[in-house]
Amino acid sequence: MKQWLKPSPVNGAPAQPKALSPDEVLQKINVYKRTTWVPVVDEEEQNILASKIGGRAYIPSGEEHPHCPNCHKELTLFLQLNPQDLPAPNDLDLEPEQLIQLFYCTSKEPHCEVECEAYFPFSKSVLARTLPLPATAPQDSLAVMAPRQFPEQTIVEWIEHEDYPDWHEMQVGDAQLSSEEVEVLENSELGIPKAADKLGGWPYWVQSVEYPLCPECGIQMQMIFQLDSKHHLPYMFGDMGVAHLHQCRLHKNRLAFGWASY
Ligand SMILES: [Zn+2]
Ligand SMILES: [Zn+2]
C-alpha cells in the first residue's frame, strides 16, 4: 500500500500561511493613492464668496435666491466651493473663475427629497451649478440671509490625507484585490476612503460604486466633494448616508449630486 507522506517543515514547526500585513496590501494599491482634503470650519461668515458648508450663498445681483420647483420654497445652500481658496496643487481641474454651488430642498412637507428622488443625480429638487466668480464681493448680498438656510461654516483650512479606493472599487477595478486583502485593509483602517466631508480623493460608497455619467458626453463624472451626514452639515442623508458632488471633466457646468445610505 502506498503511503502518502505529509511534507514536514524543516524545523518541525507547522507550516503557516504568512499573514498579510496592511503595508504589503497598500503597496499593491499604491498607484491608486490620491490626496484628499478634509475641511476645517469657522462659524463666522467671512466672505460671501468663500468656500463654505451651509450659510449664505453668493447670489449675483439682480437674481433671486433659487427655489425648489416642487414646493416653491427656498433651496438650502449645502456647499459653496471657490476654486481660488482650495488647496493647490490639486488634481480636480476646476475652472479658476467659476464658483461651484450646491443647493438642496430640505422641505419635509411636502417631502421633496422623496417626491423628487433627491438621492439620485439630476433630481429637480437639487441645484448643482457653476457661476462666474465676480471680481469683488457685492456688498448688498451680505445684507439678507434667505430663509431655510443652515448656519454658516466657512472653510478656513484643509487637512491633507492619503486616500485609496474603497473595497467596492478595489474589487471591480484593475487592482483586483482578493477579499482577504480587502479584509486586511478594513481591519487596519488603512487605505479605506474616509467617510467624512472632504474635497477630492476617493468616494466612500455606502451601497455600490455609483459614479454618474455626464448627460452630455456619457463619460463617468469625477467626485469633487463628499458630504457625510452630520459631519459639518446639520443634515442626515437617509440613515447616516454619504453624499457626493460630481463634475464632468469635459463639461465643467455639468454637476451631479447623489447619495446612498445604510
Ligand atoms: Zn421642495
Ligand atoms: Zn461631459
CA distance 126 to 105: 6
| Predicted TM-score of the model (pTM) | 0.88
Grid cell of 19 as nine digits: 499573514
Average pLDDT over residues 63-76: 97
How many helices (DSSP H) and strands (DSSP E) are in the chain? 4, 10
Pick the ligand that lies closest to the CA of residue 254: 2
User: Which residue in the block uniquely carries the three cell numbers 518541525?
Assistant: 12
pLDDT digits (tens, 9 = 90+) for 180-226: 888 887 787 666 667 899 999 999 999 999 999 999 999 999 999 99
Q: How far is the CA of 260 from the centre of ligand 1 (A)?
A: 19
CA of 254 relative to ligand 1 center, distance in Å: 21
Going through 43-168 in order, the beta strands assigned E by DSSP cover 52-53, 76-81, 98-104, 126-132, 153-163
Where in the chain are the domains? 22-260
Quote the CA–CA distance of 100 and 198 in Å, as a whole number.
15
72-97 per-position pLDDT tens digit: 999 999 999 999 999 988 899 999 99
4-34 exposure pattern, b = at least 16 Cβ within 10 A, e = fewer: eeeeeeeeeeeeeeeeeebeebbebbeebee
From the CA of 107, the nearest ligand is: 1
Which of the ligands is closest to the CA of residue 219?
2
CATH no. for 22-260: 2.30.320.10
pLDDT of residue 2: 43
Q: Which residue has the cell 445681483?
A: 61
Of the listed ligands, the closest to the CA of 217 is 2
